Structure 1
């Protein structure tokens, strides 16, 4: 539980009590450390080695070195102690960061840091203020998390209910995450939220949310669902027959026929700030009718626009459009994409359940079983394909993972494996301690549950997920991962080759990816964006060396390959033991265009490369 009662947070209303000097200073040091580490990792900054560092600066095995970097105008200098680990990961001790300006000691300030290196970072003048606003929001979020207080890693590993209530434990972990995406420096932008919105809807606030419900005219909207699931059946399951009848009666009281409308959930922020203004014509013409507030309470997930039903946890998640700018995208939902969403999920579910290698490792997915999209003719006529104005009003329903649990099992977001509590203890270390296993044995279990299914999908099908921490749920037994559950399917899977024949309604997920880039689905999305951080945490906590980490991964892959000799040609075609691989950079994408990093219909076309990275598996090639 939080050290500050939820009632106190709500009562604070519009207060900015978390914006205190000491919390702000810690947030700035934390974010400047991340900026130094990730911008150096992406070869945007080039720190100069000064001298070896010892003592507190040398964490884990080995010795840190001292580095310096000078601002674009030459007036500011930053020094810090760091170790360079595998995959050019910069392990920086935040306490060693010092700054001078004009030769005098100065505060460590993230906003100033960005402006001091604006030319090196390559931020265009018109985008710099927006990026600074995202940095400011990220700082404020970090200060809020400090002010709120969070359970320790040990408490999260055991569970606030001792594992007796997996729903409560799962959502406690979800709202206790303090970092956001491990690669992106500006990862909590949420531009559009005010302080009251932040307290009401930010995942770290953990406040209960009740969704608005509207009726949308069927001539303007499309509803699709999994095979065998009808509209009325779905809505009565999610809302209950009483609420459906109440909303139908509300329509009749306005002289409208319920049979002419779909019932649709809406994010409260979106209704208040966008729909009542931007969609005013649709409301005035009764194409959209506001019906009231749903009875169920939900909790916002790390993705902001997705909600977990805390009133009835076995009901579906609800994902809604919300027109806030966060981490390189306006977080809308396309009605065009919604139309095919259930069919894509049905197709992938059939593939997974029919694959022996995936089933033997327990891979599962939670399907997006129903989706609804609204077409606003005014803005569709006036905007380009992919415009945020075309993505303001859609929703989807995703299965709950709770029915997949067996007795004694718990759920955690995979993002939690990179979580570090306020005392510096990694959550993953607490899980390993709880398990009673040797760290390398725990790691091998994790690789079998998560890495090998992804590798198999690449080799067998040339199918890739977007398998970052927020998109994966781990099922744990006594702290040990036993299976992975994939989510956020329809917008984030891609079929990259010709090994699968796709039904017409699923064809959207196919993309023309150059053959040499297909393996980046593992090298970039898994190795660089997850394992780079996980291996560093384990080494810094003196649990597993970098060598042991990557040897264990190599052994898992080698054993898998030995089990599937029929895929030998694919193993050489997509060589996971190659000496190096193309270095695809995420912050470079955001620095180039922080309002739309990529065209998701062309995931390869906009990638930002920075040479090649040495592959840590290469040492174990034979």
Structure 2
């Protein structure tokens, strides 16, 4: 694992070299054309009679200019544009010109419906995404083959792409170049968190029922560090019993808390105790940290007031209050279901949380705002205790990973497992898709099951089970009348009937399986028709095992001929400051026609 910290000015730009810059612009342009076309924002024109086999030649005219983009592509299931990056050219007055992703966004601004107020930030996000991509393609990273043998955190920090659908997916607006070297997951720089004592009159601690505040501190900090912190408070003449201890991201302390909370610092409602002793690595979610000094200790997730992929990445102190109770209830609910228990599906509970409220922002701003979400933290279980000898963990995002040489990890992983592609895929679908189906149909329970939110537990590189994380903010019960315990009621949400099934069609089929199917087909590992046939068979097997749910299978038909196309980039392009309201996520969704359902042909006859 490489550790890179930019301690000299030149290091911050060492990876910004002409050849690398050209490479990452080509790759981002391929993705931009593919995903914007998938969302019908762009409509490439087929050049009739040109192409070979499934591949055809296309042109994309630049509005108002004698310029166009040319490329070879094929359309796969779910209108997935598989574009040959090497074929991508930009012609101006018939002559080749440089590929420039920033210029492309400006050229197609009107078709992309980017408002003048959103454009500067979106260009910043594209620049930052290119900057990070150049860094990742220029480092001495692990190859796809090496990642099939790598440890959990080496895989985590080796990921190249980020979210597969969003074009601007590594904005991280707020970080400077030195921060990138210190805190970006791919920089793999161990960091220590800053610990703060916060007055109990301003902060609230909550936890699962069998975890006390003192037990949490004993397990996460240890007696020696706790004693050192207690001495600091005593030296100031403060009573340690009046305070709670909570961690903060170093960036958050230096850039937000020390200034925006200056009144509370001055009044000793917040006391900075300095760095903790444990080293952590930032995870793909960027504000979550894995303890590498003592891996059995819990993850820590902190508020981080940077703008990334449509949201300021804060943590609400109000949400923190109920977070442990929600996690405890969902864990018990999942564990109490025989099918889920037999499948092995489980969650990593967010077991404790602390939220601090700044009364100036509370009193001065009535509406919801990122300014109210600058100072909270939570602790999440580590997955390592779940492992038996010979087993390993990988982020599910790795199934979409392509290394710097263009080799995909998934085919290499299957090849290393000793199973054929279809057998491996069946095991994966049983671990991942089957529990999601059951949660939806039997419990009205949905998660945000994208690659970064799941960890795969494997044996001989074959999936054994899926472990879900990031629970409290990204799960819901799609039944507003559900009877839930006190403190858990916010899980129950009202969603229009026709949109409920999109939690599977969009989040799983379009945002994950579309890419897995393309990787398997493109690499020659498994034709896409066979991939989708296996997905359909997984659904059919599940439905056959649960005949009592037949009415719900008919009501929310996964074999419907088509489903509504939900567009993530349209969301970000429309409002890159806050794409959706988490309290009512359905109201802001953007749609564009329908997608043909690739498993519809395999419906039971």
CA positional deviation for 1:612? 1.0
CA positional deviation for 1:149? 2.5
Q: Does 1:318 align with 2:300?
A: yes
- Counterpart contact for 2:7–2:178, Cα < 8 Å: no
CA distance in 1, matches of 2:481, 2:259: 47
Q: Where in structure 2 are the equivalents of 1:362-381 lying within 5 Å?
A: 362-381=344-363
- Counterpart contact for 2:421–2:525, Cα < 8 Å: yes
- Counterpart contact for 2:4–2:188, Cα < 8 Å: no
CA distance in 2, matches of 1:397, 1:98: 48
Q: Does 1:248 align with 2:230?
A: yes
CA positional deviation for 1:7? 6.0
- Counterpart contact for 1:373–1:393, Cα < 8 Å: yes
Q: Does 1:34 align with 2:31?
A: yes
| 1:534-586 Cα shifts (integer Å, max 9, x gaps) | 00000000111111001101111111111110110110011100001111110
Q: Does 1:223 align with 2:212?
A: no
CA distance in 2, matches of 1:140, 1:53: 35
CA positional deviation for 1:384? 3.8
Query: TM-score, length-normalised on structure 2?
Result: 0.98
| 1:54-83 Cα shifts (integer Å, max 9, x gaps) | 5xxx6xxx4211111112223321011100
Residue 43 of structure 1 corresponds to 40
Query: TM-score, length-normalised on structure 1?
Result: 0.95
Residue 581 of structure 2 corresponds to 599
CA positional deviation for 1:103? 3.7
CA distance in 2, matches of 1:474, 1:174: 12
CA distance in 1, matches of 2:8, 2:189: 12
Work out the number of aligned pairs and report it.
604
Q: Does 1:389 align with 2:380?
A: no
CA distance in 2, matches of 1:9, 1:431: 33
Q: Does 1:214 align with 2:196?
A: yes
CA distance in 2, matches of 1:411, 1:497: 33
CA positional deviation for 1:15? 3.0
Residue 455 of structure 1 corresponds to 437
CA positional deviation for 1:147? 1.6
Q: Where in structure 2 are the equivalents of 1:332-411 lying within 5 Å?
A: 332-411=314-393
- Counterpart contact for 1:53–1:63, Cα < 8 Å: no
Range moving further from structure 2, 430-439 or 524-533: 430-439
SS at match of 1:43: coil
- Counterpart contact for 1:133–1:189, Cα < 8 Å: yes
Q: Where in structure 2 are the equivalents of 1:125-164 lying within 5 Å?
A: 125-159=116-150
**Cα distance 1:515–1:417, how it changes in 2: closer, same or farther (>3 A)?**
same
Q: Give the unaligned 5+ runs of structure 1.
A: 160-168
Q: Give the unaligned 5+ runs of structure 2.
A: none
Which of 59, 75, 80 is the aligned partner of 1:84? 75
| 1:380-434 Cα shifts (integer Å, max 9, x gaps) | 1122432000000000000000001111100000000000112222111111101
CA distance in 2, matches of 1:501, 1:526: 27
CA positional deviation for 1:436? 1.2
Residue 448 of structure 2 corresponds to 466
CA distance in 2, matches of 1:35, 1:7: 29
Q: Does 1:414 align with 2:414?
A: no
Residue 572 of structure 2 corresponds to 590
CA distance in 2, matches of 1:382, 1:407: 55
CA positional deviation for 1:13? 7.5
SS at match of 1:186: coil
Range moving further from structure 2, 551-560 or 100-109: 100-109
SS at match of 2:394: strand
Root-mean-square deviation (CA), in Å? 1.3
CA distance in 2, matches of 1:260, 1:72: 64
CA positional deviation for 1:118? 0.2
